[in-house]
């Protein structure tokens, strides 16, 4: 039985954070409670999914004091409550600040492997947590990761969610291509609906139509609830796609300049669409896409639909 508490401090965005979920499920065997200090919305999501008992918003001024000479006493008190702390950051300064006020920092881990290292991010996280001595060797694997139970979930199998956004516009497949996918899904008797995040509201005008449902959500537990109600999902390489896959939806993800060997979502039924190209994925090594980004331009709606139906019909 777990006999020690644990605080996870994570500075990444949604996709990076979700790829720590396999590690969190492993850590729950050893530590209780597990709490998180991260972006407020990410913490709410982890709590709603049962992956964390409490969360603390990284946006708080008291947390920002860790980057100053005068650390807020509330942070000192908070950190002292935990037997173990895992810090996901590239900041050596943050590690030094925590070590100044606490002696329970188990390890500092980069949230992802170096760009040249072709290892899945979730596997990288698990192996590093094992190297820190926090889990056993047999648990440092993506095999048989516990995933949310979907057996008795009320959902509409005909509702297919389409997410044309992504945190970076470099990863966005054209909205016109999503509209072609929507048309085929409708012709096949399915009910596609679009999902946008708060940073993607500018795309709403392209989707506006009296017979089209477009959800614009800023709350991650609300997004999770919407995903749980659907029968399938098609989207770009984004945090929303990672969440859809983790929650068990038949999920098809359109990759462009990013490397699916590193970033493929973890889930029960996931297919990746990316043309077979000679060039290596450049998203993490180049500041912009090339002049002719065939990794997105050569992805045809028919290929996306074929990939989706492979997982949707099983």
pLDDT band at 2 (very low <50, low <70, confident <90, very high): low
Contacts with 123 (C-beta within 8 Å, 6 or more apart), sequence order? 141, 142
Greater pLDDT, 199 or 58: 58
User: Which residue do the tokens 């929507």 mark?
Assistant: 182
What pTM does this model have?
0.95
| Number of residues in the chain | 314
User: Average pLDDT of 264-276?
Assistant: 95
Domain map (residue ranges) of the chain: 6-139, 159-312
pLDDT at 1 over 60: no
pLDDT band at 151 (very low <50, low <70, confident <90, very high): confident
- In this predicted structure, what is the pLDDT of residue 304? 98
- In this predicted structure, what is the pLDDT of residue 202? 86
Indicate if 159-312 has the same CATH topology as 6-139: yes
- C-beta of residue 86 within 8 angstroms of C-beta of residue 6: yes
Degrees (nearest 5) of the Cα angle 172, 157, 196?
A: 30
Domain range 6-139, CATH class:
alpha beta
Q: Which of 91-95, 101-105, 232-236 ranks highest by mean pLDDT?
A: 232-236
Q: Domain 159-312 maps to which CATH number in 3.40.50.2000, 3.20.20.60, 3.90.1310.10, 3.40.640.10?
A: 3.40.50.2000
pLDDT band at 216 (very low <50, low <70, confident <90, very high): very high
3 state DSSP class of 105: strand
């Amino acid at each position: 039985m777990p006999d020690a508490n644990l605080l996870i401090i994570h500075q990444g965005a949604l996709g990076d954070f979700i790829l720590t979920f396999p590690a969190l499920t492993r850590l729950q065997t050893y530590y209780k409670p597990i709490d998180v200090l991260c972006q407020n919305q990410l913490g709410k999501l982890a709590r709603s999914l049962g992956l964390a008992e409490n969360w603390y918003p990284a946006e708080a001024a008291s947390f920002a004091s860790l980057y100053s000479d005068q650390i807020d006493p509330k942070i000192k008190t908070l950190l002292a409550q935990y037997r173990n702390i895992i810090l996901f950051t590239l900041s050596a300064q943050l590690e030094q600040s925590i070590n100044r006020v606490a002696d329970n920092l188990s390890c500092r881990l980069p949230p992802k492997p170096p760009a040249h290292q072709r290892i899945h991010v979730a596997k990288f996280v698990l192996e590093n947590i094992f190297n820190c001595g926090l889990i056993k060797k047999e648990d440092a694997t993506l095999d048989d990761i516990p995933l949310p139970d979907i057996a008795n979930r009320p959902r509409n199998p005909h509702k297919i969610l389409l997410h044309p956004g992504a945190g970076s516009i470099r990863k966005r497949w054209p909205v016109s291509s999503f509209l072609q996918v929507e048309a085929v899904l409708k012709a096949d008797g399915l009910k596609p609906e679009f999902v946008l995040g708060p940073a993607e509201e500018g795309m709403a005008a392209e989707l506006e139509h009296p017979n089209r449902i477009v959800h614009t959500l800023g709350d991650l537990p609300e997004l999770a609830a919407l995903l749980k109600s659907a029968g399938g999902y098609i989207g770009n390489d984004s945090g929303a796609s990672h969440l859809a896959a983790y929650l068990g939806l038949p999920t098809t993800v359109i990759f462009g300049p990013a490397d699916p060997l590193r970033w493929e979502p973890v889930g029960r039924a996931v297919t990746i669409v990316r043309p077979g190209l000679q060039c290596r994925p450049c998203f993490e090594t180049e500041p912009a896409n090339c002049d002719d980004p065939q990794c997105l331009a050569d992805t045809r709606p028919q290929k996306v639909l074929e990939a989706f139906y492979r997982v949707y019909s099983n």
